[in-house]
């Protein structure tokens, strides 16, 4: 089969431009779909007996939301995901939802989802070269391990203090909130980076 690369690059660019020049109804639909994708990925879950934070597929959708929807709609999809989870859709990790879960141990990760999507969205929208595999991987690593984990770990430590009466030591905190997730997060980063490599144009014109 003869694959015409030029046609592929042109189509890819057209789809990208179409997404970024969509009307309000299309934008709303894409934001809702991305919130749904995050909710679906949250059901891929491995609970950890020693931690309130499960391994989930969510971060893949979070990173992809920034890539595909950009710096405004990407984070908006994560805000929508969070708000709809509070008011009645049980689509947080393991089919949970409601105020208590949203503002519980994992609240900081939800905040981090918004930051991570904004970070990836801002850079990939502004700098076409950032979408190349060699650039997007380190950016995804920063989005994942800084944007998500800084608020995630801070709130987890505060939650621990409120529920257990003392702050956890740093090792316990990392064992609860970071270390078990590293391998899975790297797999999701590679998956999201592959989406950037395959689907996003690498030039402005």
Ligand X SMILES: O=C(O)CCCC[C@@H]1SC[C@@H]2NC(=O)N[C@@H]21
Give the binding site for ligand X (CB under 6 A): 42, 53-56, 58-59, 92-93, 106, 109, 148, 181, 184-185
**Min. distance of Cβ 123 from ligand X in angstroms?**
20
Q: For ligand X, which is the closer residue by CB, 131 or 177?
A: 177
Point out the residue whose Cβ comes nearest to ligand X. 93
**Min. distance of Cβ 72 from ligand X in angstroms?**
22
Q: For ligand X, which is the closer residue by CB, 16 or 81?
A: 81
**Min. distance of Cβ 22 from ligand X in angstroms?**
28
Q: Retrieve residue 117's tokens.
A: 């999507």
Number of C-beta neighbours around residue 106 at 10 A: 24
Number of C-beta neighbours around residue 15 at 10 A: 14
Q: Are 53 and 103 in contact (CB under 8 A)?
A: no
Q: Which residues contact 125 (CB under 8 A, 6 or more apart)?
A: 20, 70, 71
Question: Would you report the helix, strand and coil content of the chain in percent, each value rounded to 5?
Answer: 75, 5, 20
**Min. distance of Cβ 152 from ligand X in angstroms?**
6
**Min. distance of Cβ 40 from ligand X in angstroms?**
12
Q: Are 99 and 86 in contact (CB under 8 A)?
A: yes
Number of C-beta neighbours around residue 160 at 10 A: 19
């Amino acid at each position: 089969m003869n694959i015409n690369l030029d046609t592929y690059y042109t189509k890819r660019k057209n789809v990208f431009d179409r997404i970024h020049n969509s009307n309000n109804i299309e934008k709303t639909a894409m934001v809702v779909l991305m919130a749904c994708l995050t909710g679906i990925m949250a059901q891929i879950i491995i609970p950890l007996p020693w931690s309130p934070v499960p391994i989930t597929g969510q971060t893949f959708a979070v990173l992809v939301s920034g890539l595909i929807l950009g710096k405004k709609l990407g984070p908006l999809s994560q805000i929508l995901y969070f708000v709809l989870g509070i008011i009645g859709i049980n689509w947080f990790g393991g089919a949970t939802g409601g105020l208590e879960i949203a503002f519980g141990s994992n609240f900081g990760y939800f905040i981090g989802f918004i930051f991570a999507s904004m970070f990836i969205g801002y850079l990939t929208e502004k700098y076409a070269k950032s979408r190349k595999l060699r650039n997007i991987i380190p950016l995804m690593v920063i989005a994942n391990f800084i944007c998500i984990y800084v608020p995630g770990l801070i709130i987890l430590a505060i939650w621990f203090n409120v529920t257990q009466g003392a702050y956890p030591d740093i090792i316990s905190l990392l064992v609860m909130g970071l270390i078990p997730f590293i391998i899975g997060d790297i797999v999701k980063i590679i998956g999201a980076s592959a989406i950037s490599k395959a689907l996003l144009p690498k030039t402005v014109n």
